[in-house]
């Protein structure tokens, strides 16, 4: 999978209004992640790395509370860290780590090295559209995440659902292993904050960006010759803004 593929299939993600419009019927199980940006104090990077590593490996090593830390290496938040916990569901949050020195360790050892935290969010995977089942369970050979955030125009929720469906079908029909996921921001973001939907392409290495783009050819094979322009027009009319970020997994700071 390459960056050109992401350019098209990731543009199917944004929505404002009830999550149920995109999710459909409530599923008996789902995967959700809590995430936030951390702006480090650049004069205390070593201390932050050591404190974060110890904290996550003690309190966030496995299960629904497992924490993964990413370095943001491209996009408007370059230089920040992303702290992410999950996959989990809402009931897990009632028993999240807080005792046995957890809160004190975060307050006294991690936070003194942090300038600020921002964009605390909960992202639920849309299982119907996502293709993450291609990844081997329990393994993490994809250290690079290509995130595309989208904002949807007013009144376009039904069109978003349609576009997600055709894009999801196209990605699944492509040759090779192309894991990706579609994630919906659980809480309303308005039109100024945005960040309504995000899609994620999973990469084993940067060299995958050099692979041939087959998304358009696969799309037209599935939806008919000449369908591409109609698709692009629909994307332009549906979404008001989109942007990319590249995250690289920080194995030292992560809990697992």
Domain membership flag for residue 256:
no
Domain membership flag for residue 201:
yes
Report the pLDDT value the prediction gives residue 154, as an integer from 0 to 100: 86
Q: Find the domain containing 109 and state its range.
A: 3-249
Q: How many domains does the chain have?
A: 1
Domain membership flag for residue 255:
no
Report the pLDDT value the prediction gives residue 165, as an integer from 0 to 100: 86
Mapped onto helix, strand or coil, the DSSP state of residue 237 is helix
| Contact call for residues 68 and 255 (beta carbons, < 8 A) | yes
Domain membership flag for residue 13:
yes
How far is Cα 9 from Cα 201, in angstroms, rounded to an integer?
Answer: 9
Report the pLDDT value the prediction gives residue 139, as an integer from 0 to 100: 62
| Contact call for residues 50 and 105 (beta carbons, < 8 A) | no
Report the pLDDT value the prediction gives residue 192, as an integer from 0 to 100: 78
Report the pLDDT value the prediction gives residue 193, as an integer from 0 to 100: 84
| Furthest CA-CA distance within the chain | 62
189: CB partners within 8 A, 6+ apart: 16, 195, 196
Residue 76 is part of a domain; what is its CATH number? 3.30.70.100
Helix (H) or strand (E) holding 125, with range, is strand 114-125
Domain membership flag for residue 240:
yes
How far is Cα 14 from Cα 9, in angstroms, rounded to an integer?
Answer: 12
Domain membership flag for residue 254:
no
Per-residue pLDDT of the chain (256 residues; tens, 9 = 90+): 544 444 444 443 433 343 433 444 454 489 999 999 999 999 999 999 999 999 999 999 999 999 999 999 999 999 999 999 999 999 999 999 999 999 999 999 999 999 999 999 999 999 999 999 888 665 678 999 999 998 988 888 888 888 888 888 999 999 998 898 999 999 988 887 889 999 899 999 999 999 998 999 999 999 998 899 999 999 899 999 989 999 999 999 999 8
Tokens of 98: 């807080």
């Amino acid at each position: 999978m390459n960056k050109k593929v992401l350019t098209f299939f990731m543009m199917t993600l944004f929505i404002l209004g009830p999550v149920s419009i995109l999710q459909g019927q409530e599923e008996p199980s789902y995967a959700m992640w809590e995430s936030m940006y951390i702006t480090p104090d650049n004069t205390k990077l070593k201390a932050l790395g050591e404190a974060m590593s110890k904290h996550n490996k003690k309190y966030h090593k496995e299960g629904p509370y497992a924490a993964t830390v990413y370095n943001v290496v491209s996009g408007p938040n370059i230089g920040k860290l992303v702290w992410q916990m999950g996959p989990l569901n809402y009931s897990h949050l009632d028993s999240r780590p807080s005792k046995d020195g957890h809160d004190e360790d975060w307050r006294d050892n991690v936070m003194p090295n942090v300038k600020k935290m921002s964009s605390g969010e909960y992202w639920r995977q849309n299982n119907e559209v996502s293709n993450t089942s291609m990844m081997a369970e329990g393994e993490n050979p994809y250290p690079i995440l290509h995130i595309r955030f989208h904002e949807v125009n007013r009144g376009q929720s039904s069109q978003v659902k349609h576009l997600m469906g055709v894009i999801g079908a196209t990605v699944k029909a492509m040759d090779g292993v192309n894991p990706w996921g579609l994630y919906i921001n659980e809480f309303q973001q308005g039109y100024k904050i945005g960040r309504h939907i995000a899609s994620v392409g999973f990469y084993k290495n940067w060299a995958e960006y050099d692979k041939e783009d087959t998304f358009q050819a696969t799309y037209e094979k599935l939806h008919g010759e000449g369908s591409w322009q109609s698709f692009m027009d629909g994307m332009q009319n549906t979404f008001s803004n989109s942007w990319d970020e590249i995250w690289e997994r920080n194995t030292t700071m992560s809990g697992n």
